[in-house]
Amino acid sequence: AAHGVVRWRLCDIAQWLNAEYGVSLDETTVGRELKAMGFRKLSARPRRHAQNELAVAAFKETSLPRRRSRGQYAWRSSAGGEAR
């Protein structure tokens, strides 16, 4: 990991800015400036570690309604053209 940090937290960035440039900024200020520059917080999606993957697969096969394929919409006309 670059600079020995795997995930950059606001407190890590504020500390790095202080060590590198001698600038002391509050975490809120760092967050506001990063947001203004277009950066966004990324986080991992939570995963349920205790779930049974076989049970999930079986549930998806039997419980969810099947989606229609692209050509089977009710609003299309039977004359071959699309209804407006």
Return the pLDDT at 83.
52
Q: Indicate the pTM of the whole model.
A: 0.50
What range defines the domain where residue 12 resides? Answer: 1-42
Return the pLDDT at 61.
83
14-72 pLDDT, tens digit per residue, is: 999 999 999 999 999 999 999 999 998 888 778 777 888 888 888 888 876 766 666 65
Return the pLDDT at 24.
96
Coil vs helix vs strand at 76: strand
In a domain, 18, yes or no: yes
Distance CA 6, CA 1 (A): 6
In a domain, 64, yes or no: no
Amino acid at 80: G
Return the pLDDT at 16.
93
Total number of domains in the chain = 1
